[in-house]
Amino acid sequence: MPVIIVENKEKVIEKLSEIIEKTAASSISKHGKFLVGFSGGSLAPFLATGLPKIKTDFSKWTIFFCDERLVPVNDPDSTFGLYKKTLIDSGAVPLKEDQFVQIKQGVSAEEAATAYENKVKEFFPNEKLPVFDLLLLGMGPDGHTCSLFPGHKLLNETSRWIAPITDSPKPPPSRVTMTFPVVNNADVCAIAASGKEKADMIKRVLVDKENLPAARVQPASGNVYWIVDKDAGLHLNK
């Protein structure tokens, strides 16, 4: 599992952008499209800074959400809302709203998850599991990734691609999330983390190998890249 330690947050963004550029190019040359999953949280500003600098054919991109909070798009907690503002409305990259596979809002978490799963299935007809080209993941200070939280029963979900959650320990409580079978069927996963508040958890995941959600990101036949800055990687051997 490649762990890339760089000087600071700016270099995390550069490295992450390089991986995105390379993976997009190989996916587009392999099957003419790039099917990528975005997370929210600290990843959103990384992408707002990094994506405008990469060389790619954005018209070939379809963007999914690794997880999404069930709040209106104009709510500051909406992950799509963040990307809409920083990438689309700002004109930072030539991406259009309909290139984002959006999550239905104003319905129950169950209904939103089912509707989202059905949309994902349209891109992967007849597949037992989807194979995303790249999933861009984050890791919360408690070791969660997507909306898969430590100790939560969703960690053991094996039949659904997308699951609802109504008791997220991190607000807002209602969300939808990709499940581990989907995450671990991706071609490439990348987890970017910056800042000393992540250092202890990075150690627990990468050194102590505790069975935390972020440690379970292990694509069966793909790669997972960890990109961390010196502060987040404080306890890693250089």
Phi and psi at residue 67, to the nearest 5°: -155, 165
If one asks whether residue 140 binds ligand LXAUTJHC (CB under 6 A), the answer comes out as yes
Tokens of 18: 């390089």
| DSSP for 46-81, written as a single string | HHHHHGGGS---GGGEEEEESEEESS-TTSTT-HHH
In whole angstroms, the minimum distance from the beta carbon of 29 to ligand LXAUTJHC comes to: 29
Binding residue for ligand LXAUTJHC (CB under 6 A) from 37, 50, 138, 143?
A: 138
**Nearer Cβ to ligand LXAUTJHC (24/82):** 82
Contact with ligand LXAUTJHC (CB under 6 A) among 3, 22, 28, 42? 42
Q: Minimum distance from CB of 227 to ligand LXAUTJHC (Å)?
A: 12
Q: How far apart are CA 142 and CA 202, in angstroms?
A: 10
Distance CA 128, CA 74 (A): 35
- Kindly identify the residues of this chain, within the stretch 56-75, that bind ligand LXAUTJHC according to CB under 6 A: 66-67
Tell me if 164 contacts ligand LXAUTJHC by CB under 6 A: no
At 12, the amino acid letter reads: V
In the block, tokens 């700002």 appear at: 90
Question: What does the binding site for ligand LXAUTJHC look like in residue numbers (CB under 6 A)?
Answer: 39-43, 66-67, 138, 140, 147, 170
